Amino acid sequence: MPTFDLRTVLLMASVMPGLMALVMFSIGRTFPRSIRGVAQWAQGSLVFSAATFLMALRDTLPDWLSVICGNICIVGGIGLWLIGSQRYFGRVPFVRFVSALTVIDAVCLSWMTWIDFAPYGRSLCTNVILALLFALLAYELLRFGQRDNGAKVVGSMFAVETLITLTRIVTSLKPGSAHEGLYAQDLVQLIYLSSGAFMSLSITVGFMLTAVNRLRIHLEQLSLIDPLTGLLNRRALLEAHKIAREAPRRTGPYLSLLLIDLDHFKRINDTYGHSMGDDILVDFARRAALALPQHAHFARWGGEEFAVLLPCKIVDEPLGLARALQARIAWTDGSALPSYTCSIGIACLNAREATIEQLLKHADHALYRAKGNGRNRVEVEAEMEVALESLAVAS
């Protein structure tokens, strides 16, 4: 077998993960607090990079530095990856478990270096711990990152690394197997170290891409949310309308739109101030959301105007919903806010014909009538009114 310079491989593998860790540190500082675990991933890559550098200088540095510190840093670095992954998915991190494994590895390495010299035992101890950590990382990323392609790729890498490490353990247990140290030129050791060197960089890059993808999703969600009320914004409601209109069999044959306007809102702002006006908008959003079914899409349309897109199976469903919503608003819960009311205009059309322009046109006309007829009332567009009258006669 041709000689393969494993020392050079390890030295190269010690540089790039460390540099990528610094990049991850820099980028991670700009992430929102909802994206957790990035700091631990970066710390793990930095520690792993230092460990690889120490191990590459085996036989040059003293054993306490290259063997003991190097292996402890490898276990600690991969443990930090595990903690970061658990924090990323919102799970309780195994901090004590990782700390215990690191201490166990340190004690075993120290014992088999200074008290009962056993280089084979040192390797076996560390590999068993690494196989366990790799398996846990593969489980975390594949189990809880099913909708995250980056997490699945990194999890698959850890699964492969688990198999390689287990193979290394099994082959080292065979009777008569040669234990020539870290740089042994047998095939399993070549695969073990080479894959570890490749994975160290790939995994660090994979962690960073996974975090960046989560940031992209977070920013996309923010672009669809009204920052004051936490409801959908106009853009999000238009997207919901497009989806609902394309799937009438699943959502119902009708699409209705409720346009809601808080009555005399300008007077409230002038009397109590804009801060109180904002509080009322938030209060309305909270109360109204409690009256709406899960399949309704509730959005702040602009200013004091709100909109509800409701896929429905019967034409009178939105009318009952509007009345329930008004009853929810009229109920006082001991709040310090001034009382307020709302006017609602309803349009309901066949889903295939219900363009957003048509729904808005009819709902706006109905809302205008509700305001003109004294406010704090519900009005429906003309075609829906005829349909409701026919329904009442039939019943």
- Could you list the active site residues? 304
* Burial (CB count within 10 angstroms: exposed 0-12, middle 13-18, buried 19+), residue 70: buried
**What span, in angstroms and rounded, lies between the C-alpha atoms of 388 and 245?**
22
**Beta sheet of 342-350, edge-to-edge order:** 297-302, 305-312, 254-262, 342-350, 378-380
Residues 235 and 10: their CA atoms lie apart, in Å, by 51
Distance CA 263, CA 90 (A): 42
Which one, of 271, 254, 260, 238, lies nearest residue 366 by Cα? Answer: 260
Sign of CA dihedral 173, 178, 182, 188: negative
CA angle 48, 49, 52 (to 5 degrees): 85
CA distance 72 to 102: 6
Contact yes or no for 330/389 (Cβ under 8 A) = no
Which neighbouring-strand residues pair with 378? 344
